[in-house]
Structure 1
Amino acid sequence: MQPTTTGRFRVHDRRPRPDVAEATEEFVLVEIPPDPIDPNAPESADAFDPIFVTAEGYDGDLEATIDALAPGVVIDGTLAWDDGTARFTEVETVREDRFRFAGNIEGIFEAAVEAWNAIRADGEAFGSVTTRSTDGEPNGALYLFADGPGGDTFAELRAGRIPIEPLVARVNERLDDDRPREVFVLRPADHPFVLVHVVFDRDGVLARTIRDTYDLGSGLAAGLDDGDEETAGDDGADDDGTVEDDADEDGSDDFDLRDRL
């Protein structure tokens, strides 16, 4: 009898494993623990280790369900193990979040650069800021990681070796709502950092603006074409998204997301 694992998982990515020659397409899953993980606890070190699951060779309804799985979604599933290889036997999508990965981004928004400069001025290699709409409402959490010579932070994040799940979990715990998130993992072409932007509302203006700006899928223009009231101001430019440091609550250092280098 094959051993099985049942639990709740995040579909972190879907692609052939880059470090395996002639690899078939796989899912990278991260198990979501039922209770919050203390980052200082000994077991936290491997709590979010990636799990590789075959993405091909399914039949019938299970094949259709698996083909529809996109990076970012949360699923309840059962995995069967055969000689170290995992395959799905049951899958149900429970949350429609999205992850998007893009490297060598040209013209990264200036707010991220300003935030990174402030982090480095403090001698840190990692930091975060809260992004806000032009109305001052929080709309995302922006995390910045150093990407120095000899390393590849973007690849580590995409492979799940640097976990993203705790960053999303922190947002979910803070907001305690059912809105699907959108997570953008972007590596600028001309700056030594990688950003992870956890946008609070996948269908909101900020997520659409980022998708538009970096050609990552349907974005603000699609919303305007559809007559979406949230995106359509008189000039088509309201609520684009600004960034301010978590410690600065007076809104005096706002940046427009569309400020480009």
Structure 2
Amino acid sequence: MADTQRFRVLPASASVDEPRTAGDGTEAAGGGYRLLDRETFEPVALAAEGHDAPVTDLRAGYLVDAELDWTTSDPTVASVEVVRPTLYAFADEVDPMFEAARETWERAQAAGDPMNTQVLRNTDSEVTGALYVFAESGDRGRFEEFFDGSRPLEPLVDRVNDEREPAPREVFVLRALPAAFTAVAVTLRKGGQLAETMRDTYDCPRPDEPLVPDES
């Protein structure tokens, strides 16, 4: 039996231990494909093989409409359509963290708050994105929770889309070294200057996107 729902594509679970290099893709050794149900915010682990849709061409962060076949122990994807090709990227042990994130975290510490937020602007004072910082704690921190979907990034992305027209974004999840806090930067423009700077600075190569038309 097939069921069509809206999902967010998550990074491959088989690569959770190496998030620096796995954040942009869905494919991993042995499968590990995962989606986040947009209604329940629950991660869905997919079968490693047997999909009728091009699952290996999906990228973490894509918003998709997918038809899942639940007749197997782990669901397979019967069909998929990319609704909005947002991209997620993850980088751990970032040193140095970019200045706006450090300043936002310092203000959170001064206020005794576990999180803080700031609007990102370029040198012309134009808004380029939104920044959120979260305190890390324990063996399993915010970074891992954002990576595996147990703490969805959806509310942060939705907030930007609610304030502006929904559009493809790029979302960078960066954990500082030492691991005091995790920063989440949501860029307004996919492929814009802020996104390209983040990728160059934190070694997050832009993935190929076979399912997205080339608009260049």
Q: TM-score range by the shorter chain?
A: 0.7 to 0.9
Q: CA separation in 2, counterparts of 1:48 and 1:155?
A: 16
Rg (Cα) greater in structure: 1
Q: CA–CA distance in 1 between the matches of 2:148 and 2:10?
A: 8
2:46 corresponding residue in structure 1: 53
Aligned ranges for residues 137-148 of structure 1 at < 5 Å?
137-148=126-137
Selected match of 1:127 from 96, 113, 116: 116
SS of aligned partner of 1:16: helix
Q: How does 1:229-244 map to 2 (within 5 A)?
A: none
Q: Cα offset for 1:79? A: 0.8
Say yes or no: does 1:211 pair with 2:199.
Answer: yes
Is the counterpart of residue 199 in structure 1 residue 187 in structure 2?
A: yes
Structure 2 matches for 1:41-190, cutoff 5 A? 47-58=40-51, 62=53, 65-82=54-71, 84-178=73-167, 180-190=168-178
Paired residues in the alignment total 197
Deviation at 1:94, TM superposition (A): 1.6
Instruction: Write the letter of the residue equivalent to 1:7.
Output: Q
Deviations 1:151-201 (A, max 9, x none): 3221111011111011101111111143x1000011112240011111111
Change beyond 3 A, Cα 1:18–1:73:
closer
1:101–1:184: 8 Å Cα contact kept in structure 2? yes
Corresponding letter in the other structure for 2:183: L
Q: Check 1:109–1:81 CA distance in 2 against 1; reply closer, same or farther (3 A cut).
A: same
How far the C-alpha of 1:106 sits from its partner, in A, is 1.9
Aligned residue number for residue 26 of structure 1: 32
Task: Check conservation: 1:75, 1:94, Cα contact below 8 A.
Answer: yes
Contact 1:17–1:25, Cα closer than 8 Å, also in 2: no
RMSD: 2.3
Q: Which of 6, 11, 14 matches 1:13?
A: 11
Q: Is the 8 A contact 2:87 2:169 kept in 1?
A: yes
User: Could you tell me which amino acid in structure 1 is paired with residue 95 of structure 2?
Assistant: E
TM-score (ref. length: structure 2): 0.83
TM-score scaled to structure 1, two decimals?
Answer: 0.69
Check whether the contact 1:26–1:56 (CA below 8 A) recurs between aligned residues: no
Structure 2: stretches of 5+ with no match in the other structure = 18-28, 208-215
Percent identical across equivalent pairs?
A: 38
Partners of 2:206 and 2:74 lie apart in 1 by 35
For 2:141, give the aligned amino acid: D
Distance in 2, matches of 1:18 and 1:186, equals: 14
Deviation at residue 55 of structure 1 after TM alignment? 4.5
Deviation at 1:208, TM superposition (A): 0.3
The runs of 5 or more residues in structure 1 that have no matched partner are: 34-46, 220-227, 229-261
Kept after mapping to 1: 8 A contact 2:119/2:131: yes
Contact 1:146/1:193, CA 8 A, preserved across alignment: yes
Q: Residues 95-151 of structure 1, C-alpha deviation per residue, up to 9 Å, x if partnerless?
A: 111001111112111221111010121111112111111111111111111102443
Contact kept in structure 2, 1:154 and 1:186, CA below 8 Å: yes
Determine the C-alpha separation between the residues in 1 that align with 2:202 and 2:140.
24
Highest relative contact order (Cα 8 Å, sep 6+), 1 or 2? 2
TM-superposed CA distance for 1:48, in Å, is: 1.0
Alignment check: 8 A CA contact 2:65 2:83 kept: yes
Q: Distance in 1 between matches of 2:73 and 2:157?
A: 29
Secondary structure in 2 matching 1:56: coil
Q: Tell me, what secondary structure is at the counterpart of 1:139?
A: strand
**Separation in 1, partners of 2:109, 2:34:** 32
